[in-house]
């Protein structure tokens, strides 16, 4: 058994468009997905997530590179010979079949004995809480129920890997949250590898063991949710996952706390954590997340402290969002947690107030400019 | 099934009158055929018929040339329809499923025989058959009829496939069904009524086709050609009317069923 259940080795996929151009939907992507992992492909619309998934399922063949399942190169193996199953974004249920027939379909194709089919379909429907609906047609189900049928239909085959293409995209927010938890629980229960496509960063962060962030056909970064959020390796990832403030800067030198960068707009130098291979003199994007900006009356010891003024505050319950203007007119967002329950307006920052923004070096990331 | 439109919303008199005249104009000749299938006159028709009789039905049934023509027509229509079902479905699948260069042109070329006047198709086929040194026979008639039967089936099936989309086909393959199983269990149930409707329409078209047949037939007479020859040399004239009723029954029923089937699936 190979260490990785799915591997993409330098995969490229180009399409000829009807307009006569060529688009590179997937651009030299390499991925290694481990057994039993909940793995997400995250990126904006059109970045190549679906195309990557379809190449694993066998609906598309790579222009170059190789897809391996369980260590075996797939080449042009058709979908029906691959040990993976897909939950389609549109569900793609067989409209002329009942729920039972839909779920039984894959087992029938495998020539599973009828008694076992009955048993396994029952089990699968129970797992997705659809027992008793066996005889309904898809059009007699709600969106959430159809989604569950699609899930049961794929899971009943006990595939090595389940591919899910934005399976919750069509559901309302509340149902989406519920299904996220259910899906994650289910995945832990059955122990099948999930490859989960989404453009919702929150969904990816809450559900995944590991995430690959994609943009314009390229896999930018792969890592755990914490790694992706706390140590994004480029400006795009920092920007796409959560929120971030950016300053344009120039690398000066490495030191024992990290590296020093010049920020012309702030007319100062900042110390931060360099990510990736940076060289002195290189143009960089310096980023800090809003919840990591500390606002205070005094500069803090050991911090990059920048003088600033409160422009605007928004109270949102758990946090107060504060818009600051720093030296040189640079504006940044800071989120202050409301840790003390009080009605005293002085406990919150007021527009016009002069403050210090403390940007601790461990919170400041120095990223290659893309 | 459908509720009548809102009550009291009747058409103004001139419009209603016009509609009735049009209907009469279309259907009175058919009624005349019905009527004169039962007249007691043998060669000339007068109105009203001097008397009514069922004797012509018996006489028709006794004529072997009628039976031969009917049998030929049924066989031609049957085989042409079968060929059309297979070829039309394949063509529709190719056009609907794939994205190949010149797809629109292929689609247009497939529909062309229906738009071409039958006389052009007939001449073209006759030249082609002669050039190929193929003797005019039963099979040349079938080939002639298949040209427009394929189009009818193709047209029905391609419309259905377009609406059906590709996602269920992909789901089927994903779940382990190979190409044939996917066709059998997923595509076929969804195009079956379109196939039936297209097939019936093709059958009806073939059954009463005259123009292309005159160009592609040898010595054989299909039923419509037989009727035509009877009109030229009248013998027991009402017999042709009885046969016409047979033709009406055989072509009308499939067309009604086909119409129903397409209506149902459009809802
Ligand atoms: N069959 C195709 N022919 C031509 N171009 C295609 C085809 N399929 C995808 N593309 C192009 O490839 C790119 C990636 O598409 P893909 O469907 O993988 O994006 P995605 O990340 O799934 O986006 P979304 O979140 O909107 O679903 C897009 O620019 C798209 O237009
Ligand atoms: Mg997609």
Q: Which residues surround ligand 2, an ion (CB under 5 A)?
A: A 50
pLDDT at residue A365 is higher than 70: yes
Return d(Cα A56, Cα A60) in angstroms, integer. Answer: 8
Which of A58, A106, A166 is most worth mutating to test chain B (most B CB atoms within 10 A of its CB)? A106
Identify the pLDDT of residue B2: 42
Q: Give CA–CA dist B148/B202, Å, rounded.
A: 8
Neighbours of A258 (CB within 10 A): 18
On whether both A261 and A199 belong to a single domain, the answer is: no
> Which ligand places an atom closest to the C-alpha of A44?
1
What pLDDT shows up at residue A187?
92
Among protein residues, the one with the nearest Cα to ligand 1's atom 14 is A48
Provide the number of structural domains found in chain A.
Answer: 2
Percent pLDDT > 70 in chain A is 100
User: Which residues make up the CATH 1.10.3720.10 domain(s) of chain B?
Assistant: 57-266
Whether A156 and A83 map to the same domain: the answer is yes
Q: For residue A165, report the distance from its CA to the centre of ligand 2, in Å.
A: 7
Question: Could you tell me the pLDDT band of residue B101, with boundaries at 50, 70 and 90?
Answer: low
The atom number, within ligand 1, closest to the CA of A49 reads 21
Q: Check if A341 contacts B (Cβ < 8 Å).
A: no
Q: What is the pLDDT of residue A364?
A: 95
Determine which of A80, A154, A159 to mutate to test the interface with B (most B C-beta atoms within 10 Å).
Answer: A80
Q: How many CB atoms lie within 10 A of CB A329?
A: 8
A59 within 8 A of B182, measured Cβ to Cβ = no
pLDDT of residue B116: 80
Chain A residues with CB inside 8 Å of B174's CB?
57, 59, 79-80, 85-86, 154
Between CA B206 and CA B77 the distance in angstroms is 5
Q: Which of B249, B152, B253 is nearest to B206 (CA)?
A: B152
For ligand 1, atom 10, name the residue with the nearest CA: A25
Residue B9 binned pLDDT confidence (cut-offs 50, 70, 90): low
- Domain of residue A138, CATH code: 3.40.50.300
Same domain, A119 and A216: yes
User: Residue B5 above 50 pLDDT?
Assistant: no
Q: What is the mean pLDDT of residues A142-164?
A: 93
pLDDT digits (tens, 9 = 90+) for B62-89: 888 888 888 888 999 999 999 999 999 9
DSSP conformational letter for A139: G
Using one digit for the tens of pLDDT, what is the confidence trace for A47-101?
Answer: 999 999 999 999 999 999 999 999 999 999 999 999 999 999 889 999 999 999 9
Tell me: pLDDT of A216 over 50: yes
Please tell me which residue, B255 or A212, carries the higher pLDDT value: A212
CATH topology for B57-266? MetI-like fold (1.10.3720)
Decide if B168 and A94 are in contact by the 8 Å CB cutoff: yes
Going by pLDDT thresholds of 50, 70 and 90, the confidence category of residue B93 is confident
Bond prior to B198 in cis (omega within 30° of 0): no
The three state secondary structure string of B36-58 is: HCCECCCCCCCCCCCCECCHHHH
Q: What is the 3-state secondary structure (H, E, C) of B176-245?
A: CCCHHHHHHHHHHHHHHHHHHHHHHHHHHHHHCCCHHHHHHCCCCCCHHHHHHHHHHCCCCCHHHHHHHH
Query: Could you tell me which residue, B39 or A151, shows the higher pLDDT?
Result: A151
Q: How far apart are alpha carbons A11 and B98 in whole angstroms?
A: 24
Task: Write out pLDDT tens, residues B156-193.
Answer: 898 888 888 789 999 999 999 998 999 999 999 999 88
- The angle formed by the CA atoms of residues A202, A187 and A74, to the nearest 5 degrees, is 95
SS3 A329: helix
- pLDDT digit string, tens, across residues A183-197: 999 899 888 999 999
Query: Residue with the nearest Cα to atom 7 of ligand 1?
Result: A15
Residue B43 has pLDDT above 80, yes or no: no
Nearest Cα residue to atom 3 of ligand 1: A15
Cβ <8 Å between B175 and A57? no
**Which one-letter DSSP state was computed for residue B101?**
T
Judged by CB atoms closer than 8 Å, whether chains meet at B175 and A90 is answered as: no
pLDDT tens across A11-59, in order? 999 998 878 889 999 999 999 999 999 999 999 999 999 999 999 999 9
Q: Starting at the earlier edge strand, list the strands of the sheet with A304-315.
A: A294-296, A354-359, A304-315, A319-326, A331-337
CA angle B90, B93, B98 (to 5 degrees): 130
Atom number of ligand 1 nearest to Cα A24: 12
| Residue B235 confidence class, pLDDT cut points 50, 70, 90 | low
- Which of these three, A206, A235, A264, is where a domain ends? A235
Write out residues 116-135 of A within 8 Å (CB-CB) of B.
Answer: none
Give B-chain residues touching A88 at CB under 8 angstroms: 167, 170-171
pLDDT band at B3 (very low <50, low <70, confident <90, very high): very low
pTM to 2 decimals? Answer: 0.81
Residues A123 and A20 in one domain: yes
Question: How would residue B264 be classed by pLDDT, with cut points 50, 70 and 90?
Answer: low
> Domain check: are A119 and A217 in the same one?
yes
Residue B124 CA to ligand 1 center (angstroms) comes to 46
* Pair (A321, A352) in one structural domain: yes
Nearest chain B Cα distance for residue A109, angstroms: 6
Instruction: Let me know whether A267 and A164 are in one domain.
Output: no
Owning domain of residue A52: 4-235
Three-state secondary-structure class, residue A337: strand
Give pLDDT, residue B4: 43
Higher pLDDT residue, B42 or A221?
A221
Choosing from A235, A252, A278, the residue where a domain stops is A235
Q: Which pLDDT belongs to residue B99?
A: 65
User: Terminal CA-to-CA distance of chain B, rounded, Å?
Assistant: 11
Burial string for A38-69 (b: 16+ CB within 10 Å, else e) reads bbbbbbeeebbbbbbbbbbbbbbebeebebbb
Instruction: Provide Rg for chain A, Cα atoms.
Output: 25
- With bands split at pLDDT 50, 70 and 90, how would you rate the model's confidence at B100? low
**Cα of A79 from ligand 2 centre, angstroms:** 18
Enumerate residues lining ligand 1, CB below 6 A. A 15, 17, 23, 25, 43, 45-51, 199
In 3D space, the residue among A259, A212, A205, A222 whose CA is nearest the CA of residue A367 turns out to be A259
Specify which of A345-359, B107-121, B136-150 reaches the highest per-range mean pLDDT. Answer: A345-359
pLDDT attached to residue A273: 93
Model pLDDT, residue B137: 80
**In whole angstroms, what is the distance from residue A234 CA to residue B109 CA?**
54
Please give the pLDDT value at position B122.
Answer: 85
Determine the straight-line distance between the first and last CA of chain A, rounded to whole angstroms: 39
**Residue bearing the bigger pLDDT, A210 or B225:** A210
pLDDT(B242) > 80: yes
Q: Which one-letter DSSP state was computed for residue A234?
A: S
Together in a domain, A137 and A17 = yes
Atom of ligand 1 minimally distant from the CA of A53: 18
Of A270-284, B25-39, B212-226, B229-243, the range with the highest mean pLDDT is A270-284
Closest CA to B152 of B190, B192, B115: B115
For chains A and B, CB pairs below 8 A equal 56
**Which residues on chain B are in Cβ contact (under 8 Å) with A124?**
none
Q: Is pLDDT larger for residue B235 or for residue A68? A: A68
Q: Is A110 in CB contact (< 8 Å) with chain B? A: yes
pLDDT at B228 over 80: yes
Where a domain ends, among A211, A235, A259?
A235
Q: Is the pLDDT of residue B198 over 70?
A: yes
Q: What is the domain-level CATH number for residue A270?
A: 2.40.50.100
Q: How do residues A228-283 score in pLDDT, each as one tens digit?
A: 999 999 999 999 999 999 999 999 999 888 899 999 998 899 999 998 888 899 99
Q: Which of A152-156, A284-288, A296-300, B243-247 has the lowest mean pLDDT?
A: B243-247
């Amino acid at each position: 058994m190979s260490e990785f259940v799915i591997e993409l080795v330098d995969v490229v996929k180009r399409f000829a468009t009807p307009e006569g151009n060529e688009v590179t939907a997937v651009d030299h992507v390499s991925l290694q997905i481990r057994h039993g992992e909940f793995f997400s492909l995250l990126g904006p619309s059109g970045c190549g997530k679906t195309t990557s998934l379809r190449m694993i399922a066998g609906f598309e063949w790579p222009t170059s590179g190789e897809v391996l399942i369980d260590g075996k190169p797939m080449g042009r193996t058709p979908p029906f010979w691959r040990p993976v199953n897909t939950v389609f974004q549109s569900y793609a249920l067989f409209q002329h079949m009942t729920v039972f027939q839909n779920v039984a379909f894959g087992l029938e194709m495998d020539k599973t004995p009828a008694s076992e089919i009955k048993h396994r379909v029952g089990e699968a429907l129970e797992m997705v809480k659809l027992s008793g609906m066996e005889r309904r047609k898809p059009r007699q189900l709600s969106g959430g129920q159809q989604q569950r049928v699609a899930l049961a239909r794929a899971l009943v085959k006990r595939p090595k890997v389940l591919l899910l293409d934005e399976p919750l995209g069509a559901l309302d927010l509340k149902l989406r949250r519920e299904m996220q938890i259910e899906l994650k629980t289910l995945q832990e229960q059955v122990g099948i590898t999930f490859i989960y496509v989404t453009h919702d960063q929150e969904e990816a962060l809450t559900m995944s063991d590991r995430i690959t962030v994609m943009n314009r056909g390229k896999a930018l970064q792969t890592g755990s949710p914490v790694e992706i959020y706390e140590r994004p390796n480029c400006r795009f990832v920092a920007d796409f996952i959560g929120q971030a403030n950016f300053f344009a800067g120039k690398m000066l030198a490495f030191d024992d706390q990290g590296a020093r960068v010049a920020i012309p707009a702030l007319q100062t130098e900042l110390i931060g954590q360099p990510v990736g291979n940076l060289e002195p003199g290189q143009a960089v994007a310096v980023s800090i997340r809003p919840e990591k900006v500390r606002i205070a009356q005094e500069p803090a010891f050991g911090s990059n402290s920048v003088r600033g003024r409160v422009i605007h505050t928004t109270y949102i319950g758990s946090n107060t969002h504060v818009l600051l203007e720093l030296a040189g007119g640079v504006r940044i967002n800071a989120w202050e947690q409301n840790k003390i329950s009080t009605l005293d307006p002085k406990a919150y920052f007021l527009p016009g107030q002069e403050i210090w923004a403390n940007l601790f070096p461990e919170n400041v990331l120095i990223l290659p400019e893309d | 099934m459908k509720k009548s439109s809102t009550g009291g919303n009747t058409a103004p008199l001139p419009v209603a009158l016009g509609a009735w005249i049009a209907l009469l104009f279309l259907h009175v000749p058919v009624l005349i055929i019905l009527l004169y299938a039962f007249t007691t006159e043998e060669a000339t028709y007068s109105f009203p018929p001097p008397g009514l009789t069922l004797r012509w039905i018996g006489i028709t049934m006794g004529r072997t040339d009628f039976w031969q023509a009917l049998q030929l027509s049924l066989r031609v229509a049957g085989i042409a329809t079968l060929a059309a079902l297979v070829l039309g479905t394949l063509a529709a699948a190719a056009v609907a499923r794939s994205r190949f260069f010149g797809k629109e042109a292929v689609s247009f070329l497939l529909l062309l025989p229906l738009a071409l006047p039958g006389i052009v198709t007939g001449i073209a086929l006759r030249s082609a058959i002669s050039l190929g040194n193929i003797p005019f026979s039963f099979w040349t008639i079938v080939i002639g009829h298949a040209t427009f039967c394929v189009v009818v089936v193709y047209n029905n099936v391609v419309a259905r496939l377009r609406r059906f989309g590709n996602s269920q086909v992909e789901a089927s393959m994903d779940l382990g069904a190979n190409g044939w199983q996917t066709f059998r269990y997923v595509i076929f149930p969804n195009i079956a009524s379109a196939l039936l409707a297209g097939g019936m329409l093709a059958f009806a078209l073939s059954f009463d086709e005259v123009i292309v047949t005159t160009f592609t037939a040898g010595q054989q007479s299909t039923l419509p050609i037989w009727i035509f020859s009877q009109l030229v040399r009248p013998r027991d004239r009402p017999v042709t009317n009885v046969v016409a009723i047979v033709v009406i029954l055989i072509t009308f029923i499939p067309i009604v069923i086909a119409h129903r089937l397409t209506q149902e699936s459009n809802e």
